[in-house]
Amino acid sequence: MRAASHPPRLRPEKVRELEVSAASGLCADDTRFFVAADDEPFVLEYAWQGLAPARRHALFAEDWPRAPAARKRVKADLESLTWLDGATLLALGSGSLPTRRRGALFVPDTGAVQSVDLGPLYDALGARLGAINLEGAAIGQGRLWLLQRGDGASGQSAVIALALDRARRSLSEDARIDAASLLEVTEVALGTLGGTRLGFTDACWLPGRGLCFSAAAEDSADAVADGPCAGSVLGLLDERARVAWSAPLEGTLKIEGLFARPCGDATLAWLVADADDPGTPSPLLRVALPL
């Protein structure tokens, strides 16, 4: 964050509660939006009109244990959700455990689903970054952008650029993302909030603006353990992956999903949060950005 600017805190408006408690990814088009939860094997689709759930998209044909500790060990940990093209969505696991090195392609209009092997790419990223915890994905300027969340006292957040054409081709041919699609890894200093290091939690490409991001200040020892959250920020990265603008949100919500788009003279962002409590539904929030 740019300490000198002291931006005012953004005040998000709660739109509704969602039917999941660990919302982690958010993506949308003009008529609907999609929510991934990091401890569920499905994605929920909602219509913007009326905000009623339209349908559930199962991504993995498996049953996960309900006990939180056991579920944490086997879940796919879907943290990122983005349009791969105009019809297909790509959901990505975080990579923080072996069970989380997978994802899925799915076509909402037909229900078609295909599992994706992320192991080759995550091996290459691990050689560069050490522990992997990918929490955001977006497409823009011919790149598939991934955001690495820096966890623990020494964790470093980073922006990862993949060649979009190469990634699409390997997904189409081999149902995986080829490590050769990796172009660049850029470490990003996000600063702290409330004395706790900030780490990326999601991304959304804003045409003509750059990569919009959310980041949370969660006091966690590693990429798997949960911890208390001091709050979240929204921001914008420039073409060199430097923080061009950022502002904190009111409260201490851990924002995990972000979708933003221009609306007239304003830029609106929709957000989802995770309370790390199975009994607390995730909220859908909306806030205007000064961009």
CA–CA distance, 47 with 33 (Å, rounded to integer): 6
Share of the chain above pLDDT 90, in %: 78
Average of per-residue pLDDT across 243-252: 95
* φ and ψ of 287, to 5 deg: -150, 145
Sheet holding 53-58, edge to edge: 23-28, 32-37, 42-47, 53-58
Residue 122: what pLDDT? 96
For the ranges 111-120, 147-156, 191-200, the lowest mean pLDDT is seen at 147-156
| Correct CATH for 13-289 of 3.40.190.10, 2.60.40.2480, 2.120.10.100, 3.30.450.20 | 2.120.10.100
Residue 193: what pLDDT? 93
The answer on pLDDT for 155 being more than 80 is: no
- What single letter denotes the amino acid at residue 105? L
pTM of the model: 0.93
Residue 52: what pLDDT? 84
Residue linked to tokens 């339209």: 54
- Higher pLDDT, residue 189 or 153: 189
Q: What is the pLDDT of residues 262-283, one digit of tens each?
A: 888 889 999 999 988 888 999 9
The answer on pLDDT for 4 being more than 90 is: no
Secondary structure, 3-state, the chain: CCCCCCCCCECCEEEEECCCCEEEEEEECCCEEEEEECCCCEEEEEECCCCCEEEEEECCCCCCCCCHHHHHHHCCCEEEEEECCCCCEEEEECCCCHHHCEEEEEECCCCEEEEEECHHHHHHHHHHHCCCCEEEEEEECCEEEEEECCCCCCCCCEEEEEEHHHHHHHHHHHCECCHHHEEEEEECCCCEECCEECEEEEEEEECCCEEEEEEEEECCCCCCCCCCEEEEEEEEECCCCCEEEEEEECCCCCEEEEEEEEECCEEEEEEEEECCCCCCCCEEEEEEECC
Residue linked to tokens 């990505």: 92
Residue 222 confidence class, pLDDT cut points 50, 70, 90: low
CA–CA distance, 171 with 11 (Å, rounded to integer): 39
The answer on pLDDT for 284 being more than 60 is: yes
Would you state the structure tokens that stand for residue 272, as one six-digit string?
Answer: 């989802």
- Higher pLDDT, residue 222 or 95: 95
CA–CA distance, 150 with 199 (Å, rounded to integer): 5
Residue 2: what pLDDT? 43
Residue 152: what pLDDT? 56
Domain coordinates of the chain in residue numbers? 13-289
What integer best gives the mean pLDDT of the chain? 91
**What number of CA atoms fall less than 13 Å from residue 195's CA on the CB side?**
1
CA–CA distance, 52 with 258 (Å, rounded to integer): 19
Would you state the structure tokens that stand for residue 65, as one six-digit string?
Answer: 């244990």
* φ and ψ of 272, to 5 deg: -125, 150
Residue 90 confidence class, pLDDT cut points 50, 70, 90: very high
Q: What is the pLDDT of residues 40-89, one digit of tens each?
A: 999 999 999 998 887 899 999 888 888 888 998 999 999 999 999 989 99
